[in-house]
Structure 1
Amino acid sequence: MITVAIAAFVATNIDDLFLLAGWFVRRTPAANILVGQLVGFSLLVGVSIGLFLLGTNLPHTAIRWLGILPIAIGVKTLLRDYDGGGESPSSWFSVATVTVANGVDNVGVYVPLFLQHRESIPQIIAIFYAGLIVWVIIAKLFERTLALSKSAHRVAHQLAPVVVILVGIIILLGG
């Protein structure tokens, strides 16, 4: 379960890592970045929990079929053209808004994950928040090596959908 939670977090938030690095490069205050990330991510987790609660009435065998959602998201991401976007304002609210907009597809991965691992939801959420803090720290480090982060972003952008698809397959298989 820990490995699946880490894989789900990394796959659904890899692009966010590079958005964070971009805010640091533009000298957005670290407090604004951290608060914005926490608020935006909390909204995504809250929506996922709400949808999980609606889905708890589903039979266990039907829950596995929700693994199709992350697979569809991964395939859609592989097929679409990526647009890096423009400059982002530096307030915590702007960071939160971009976090939600960039992460809305995370819900399609988190809900089936929560349904598959009901007893581990608190641990999964703790892993997600620990990952969020690590992401902010890594993004701060990327600030110093922006050239590396640009090429790493291309690789991560190509790899993230594959990992999301793998998470979906694991859910479909009941793992």
Structure 2
Amino acid sequence: MSFSVIGQAVGLFVVTNIDDILVLALFFAKGAGRRSATRTIAIGQYLGFTIILAVAAAAAFGATFLPASVIPYLGLLPLALGVKGAVQAWHHRNDADEERAAKDGGPKILEVAAVTFANGGDNIGVYVPVFVTAGLAGMTVYVVVFLVVLAAWIVAGRYVATRPAIATALARWGHILLPVVLIGIGLTILIEGGAFGL
């Protein structure tokens, strides 16, 4: 196993997933005070990212389960979750922070997975040619490195969310920021992909 391939894999992961740190931090803020939040977020993140890798690997072998024309419409997932979160935030706008957190219920595995998959849908287009060029052995190295670095990404997201100043801000504004970020991600995916003729 070449160290240069490992380095390239780490670099590719970082470049294509840098925006996930903020999303993870917001999910961790949403799950603050819940014992199972870290496990829920980690499982959701791994589930969503594993689907991205499976689609990219299948496409590298010639199977196209997800046509390129469909990828921009993945923006509908975070957009819908963001709108749902915004509606909930509006309904509970006068609640105390603790009361709002209790009603919210924290992040859900499928919610995290859906956002991860939609936000990383454009990564498929980057991963496919890399996987094709790397061959089966190289692709295996990329996948293993991606899954290892993903754990570090989850830890980094949790670290960001638990810094005292950030944690205080997220506790106060996270219920608003998460829907705004999800709506922004959804709109960006839709617009940059040219969905609906945008």
How far did residue 26 of structure 1 move?
A: 1.4
- Segments of 5+ residues of structure 1 without an aligned counterpart are 56-82, 151-175
Is residue 2:80 matched to residue 1:51?
Answer: no
| 1:130 corresponds to | 148
Is residue 2:94 matched to residue 1:91?
Answer: no
Is residue 2:18 matched to residue 1:10?
Answer: no
Is residue 2:56 matched to residue 1:27?
Answer: no
- Number of residue pairs aligned between Structure 1 and Structure 2: 122
How far did residue 144 of structure 1 move?
A: 2.2
Mapping 1:33-72, distance limit 5 Å: 33-54=41-62
**Distance in 2 (alpha carbons) for counterparts of 1:144 and 1:97:** 24
SS at match of 1:117: helix
Kindly indicate whether structure 1 or structure 2 has the higher relative contact order, using CA contacts under 8 Å at least 6 residues apart: 1
2:11 is aligned with what amino acid?
A
Which digits, 9 at most, give the CA deviation of each residue in 1:7-46, with x for residues without a partner? 1101111111110011111126111101101110010000
Q: Alpha carbon RMSD of aligned pairs, Å?
A: 2.6
Query: Where does structure 1 differ by over 4 angstroms across 4 or more consecutive aligned residues?
Result: 85-89
What is the aligned-residue identity percentage? 32
Which digits, 9 at most, give the CA deviation of each residue in 1:28-87, with x for residues without a partner? 6111101101110010000001100018xxxxxxxxxxxxxxxxxxxxxxxxxxx9x674
How far did residue 132 of structure 1 move?
A: 0.6
1:40 is aligned with what amino acid?
G
Give the structure with higher Rg (CA): 2
- Alignment TM-score, normalising by the size of structure 2: 0.56
